[in-house]
Amino acid sequence: MRDAIARAAVGDDVLRDDPTVAALEARSADLFGRAAALFVPSGTMANQIALKCYVEPGDEVLCAAGSHILWYEGGAGAAIAGALMTPLGDGGLFTARDVDAYVRPPSDSTPRLGVVWVENTHNRSGGRVFPFDGIERLRALTRERGIGFHLDGARIFNACVASGIATRSFGAAFDSLSFCLSKGLGAPVGSVLVGDAAFIARARRYRRMLGGAMRQAGLLAAAGVYALAHNIDRLAIDHANAKLFADRVSHDFRVLSAPETNIVVVESTADAAAIVARAAEKGVLLYALGSRTIRAVTHLDVTEDDVRRAADVLCETATELERA
């Protein structure tokens, strides 16, 4: 990947003549069977651009409880798009019935519902895969009601590998989607928005407004081109390593749900932040989701032996703190 970056042909993407960015966007659109795609610096920017494409200030967004747009984007959906975020369901999932029961008749007294938003896989729920039959029912409902339907697919390739559902099936199910080139695909930076030509034209303007238009961006896009060519199928290794990690720590922690992809969330009796800090001193990096919950993520830089050691360190650290 570093070699691909060094050898990248570049132009000026603001003027739309960077050949490597163009290649990345074309490959991304083709993967999902859509007309166009747009390279952006981050997943958060991809989400905020998508929100701007669907809502006006005061409009409403329906999303899963615990979604990234609710928890990890600094309130940007309200500050930038002026969106009212309404969470539904539990564990990263909600149903067409949930949406149908919530939707209100149009009125000057109620916000307009601009978009139904799915996160797949769902980060805070331990990398949970949103069942595709549920997506199809939501697709039918949103079409019937004239509501936008967007996929925050930061980890959509994990969902594809775990479920066996093809990328083009997801592309056909949603009006638009995004995915991250970092995370499991291993690129250093970047995300891609995918949709029809009109959506991407609108998104391109908002990218400019938000400061995401870059010049010789092919240096970054080259990593994405490499990732899409080499790092999708290998995600199954990360999924197997996550299951191994969960099994090894299950005697000392409560695993909140059996890992479906590459994320494991566990509950501890000791303070999560203290465990994470001490584990970091031993060379194992984890993330405290809450006062008693810890997230571990496997990826292409983590081997099976690394996973075994990380699990042992986590268990040892928790025992040390409980005895202190």
Q: pLDDT tens across 140-151, in order?
A: 999 999 999 999
**Residues 200-219: tens digit of each pLDDT:** 999 999 999 999 999 999 99
- Segment 22-27 mean pLDDT: 98
Q: What is the dihedral of CA 173, 177, 183, 184, to 10 degrees?
A: 30
CA 39, CA 58: separation in Å to the nearest integer?
28
Dihedral, 208, 212, 213, 216 alpha carbons, nearest 10: 170
Name every residue whose Cβ is closer than 8 Å to that of residue 30 and which is 6 or more positions away in sequence.
Answer: none
- pLDDT tens digits for 272-308? 999 999 999 999 999 999 999 999 999 999 999 999 9
Nearest to 293 by CA among 256, 250, 321: 256
Confidence of residue 322 (pLDDT cuts 50, 70, 90): confident
- What does the alpha-carbon distance between residue 260 and residue 141 come to, in Å, rounded to a whole number? 27
The whole-angstrom separation of Cα 28 and Cα 49 is 17
Domains of the chain and CATH, by start: 2-230 (3.40.640.10), 235-323 (3.90.1150.10)
Q: What distance in Å separates the CA atoms of residue 91 and residue 72, rounded to the nearest whole number?
A: 17
Across 124-148, b (16+ Cβ under 10 Å) vs e yields bbbbbbbebebbebbbebbeeeebb
Question: For residue 323, what pLDDT is reported?
Answer: 79
